Amino acid sequence: MTATFFYLSLCLGLLGGLMLPVAGFAISIGDDILAREFILLSGLTGFIAGGVFFSLRGRVSRPGNAQGFVLCVLCWTILPVIAAIPISHGAQVSFIDGLFEAMSGFTTTGATIFRSLDPLPQPLVLWRAILQWYGGFLTLMGILLILSPAGVGGIPTRQLGLGDKRGIQDPRSVMAIATQIAWAYSLATLLIIWMLIVSGLPGFDAFCLALSGISNGGFMPRDGTLEIYGSASAELILMVAMLFGATSIFWHRMLYNLNGQHLLEHRESYYVVGLSLLIGFIYAVSFFRLAGGSAVLEPIDALREGFLTSISIITTTGYEARSAGSTVLPILLVLPLLFIGGSIFSTSGGMSMYRLGAMLVQAGREVARLVYPHSIRGSKFGSQHYDIQLMKAIWSYFLIAVLTVSVFSALLGLLGMSFEPSLTATITMFTNAGPFYATGWSEGQDWPHLSELHPVQKLTLLLTMLAGRLDVIVLFGAVNLTFWRQ
């Protein structure tokens, strides 16, 4: 377990470091109480992380897959608990509510227990955005260094120059990959912040929206939807930010290097963009028809709002161009789109286009065998070849994901929630698309706000967020009895 605690100390130390900008912001606006709390918590977190780091430096053993899974579970449980402390105290809510908000941010889910952000201190609004940004970064690191080398859920192990199959077994490789991802992630975030400010958004809002958009988180810095800013250019910029976060980092690398051959072979990110455009056009037509014509809503505005809504759904972000805009299409269409999600090597939630493509390829092969039972056909989705072991892993993930959603949804029902809100809450939390739970699917009394839920129901949704972000199979690997017996 040496490597597990070594890398956990790095993640913990970075979390403590991210508290300092929030403390500085709190001081700048005169909130000395929150500033002291963030400084003290940052110092305590840094002290513990530093002690573990320096005591284990140079003694890192070669971990197996199970230790990597344990590291993932520890990061996504311990870090939100620490991050929840200032939220609970600063917002004067129960610790379970603070933990719900911190877990929602850290898993880039975006669901909130606050009915209004107006009473919430601005440093906490900033802290929520930073948590989403940090959670998106750790998501990419976890996929590259733990999930992909282990082949969790059929994730491909080909890394295109971003490391190798050793994963977290080689500290030098870990630092090299972390540096590459951190630079690209940070530079893209800074560029989006600058563009949003140029588009006319206030600096604080631009900063929070950029951190939330690129991580596909969905937290808003103030009440309402994006229409409160009245900036079409800002909406276009956020569309690009969401797509950047939800498309494969390997595709970004191909675009940067102008690698024509790999760009043509890579299919997953193109399907993410293509499906977003298709659903966006359907939303645009629906908005235009509901408006009654161009006298109320210009066609170009309908297209912009439609594409923003669609991209937000496909990327599991949760932004909306208008209040309850996503409800224009039936919930039975939106929930499967959320379940699919974006690319596999990205910050978006859901099953991913890659796994869906694999399942469709295999389904096509099986249908073809009914006509030509002795034919030999290749299994290929773009540049990725599928074999029987990979397909077993993908179908296993799909089955476990469906069972997880079913079990948690049934549990919410047993705790007093009716069927439709319990299923919607479970799917939106599992796919890390929390804002879509509260978009106005029903105005009846049986659709409770998240703040009204029983603490046990909130804990259930916490576990659902965690299961969705960790690809669910990681949880089973972390509790493997054989590993703990040894």
Residue 463: pLDDT above 90?
yes
Q: In this structure, is residue 289 part of a structural domain?
A: no
pLDDT of amino acid 160: 46
Residue 319: pLDDT above 90?
yes
Residue 384: pLDDT above 80?
no
384's enclosing H/E stretch is strand 384-385
Q: In this structure, is residue 234 part of a structural domain?
A: yes
Higher pLDDT, 33 or 1: 33
pLDDT of amino acid 186: 94
pLDDT of amino acid 287: 92
Confidence category of residue 404, pLDDT binned at 50, 70, 90: very high
Q: In this structure, is residue 292 part of a structural domain?
A: no
Tell me 385's DSSP state: E
The average pLDDT across 332-355 equals 90
Range with lowest mean pLDDT among 261-265, 317-321, 397-401, 445-449: 261-265
Q: In this structure, is residue 13 part of a structural domain?
A: yes
Q: SS3 for 13?
A: helix
Q: What is the pLDDT of residues 88-131, one digit of tens each?
A: 999 999 999 999 999 999 999 999 999 999 999 999 999 999 99
Helix, strand and coil content of the chain, in percent to the nearest 5, comes to 70, 0, 30
Q: In this structure, is residue 204 part of a structural domain?
A: yes
Residue 377: pLDDT above 70?
no
Question: 3-12, 42-51, 370-379 — which one is most confidently predicted on average?
Answer: 42-51
Question: 144-153, 221-230, 375-384 — which one is most confidently predicted on average?
Answer: 221-230
Query: Residue 19 is encoded by which pair of tokens?
Result: 């508290």
DSSP result, 267-325: -HHHHHHHHHHHHHHHHHHHHHHHHTSTTTS-HHHHHHHHHHHHHHHHTT----SSTTG
pLDDT of amino acid 374: 63
Q: In this structure, is residue 276 part of a structural domain?
A: no
Q: In this structure, is residue 188 part of a structural domain?
A: yes
- Total structural domains within the chain: 1
Q: Which residues contact 117 (CB under 8 A, 6 or more apart)?
A: 125, 220, 221, 222, 223
Higher pLDDT, 269 or 57: 269
**Average per-residue pLDDT in the chain?**
86
Confidence category of residue 42, pLDDT binned at 50, 70, 90: very high
- Number of helices (H) and strands (E) in the chain: give both, helices first: 20, 2
The average pLDDT across 386-393 equals 78
pLDDT of amino acid 131: 96
Between CA 315 and CA 240 the distance in angstroms is 11
The average pLDDT across 327-344 equals 91
Q: In this structure, is residue 375 part of a structural domain?
A: no
Q: SS3 for 380?
A: strand
Residue 262: pLDDT above 70?
no
Range of the domain at 239: 2-243
Range with lowest mean pLDDT among 36-45, 70-79, 340-349, 441-450: 441-450
Residue 302: pLDDT above 70?
yes
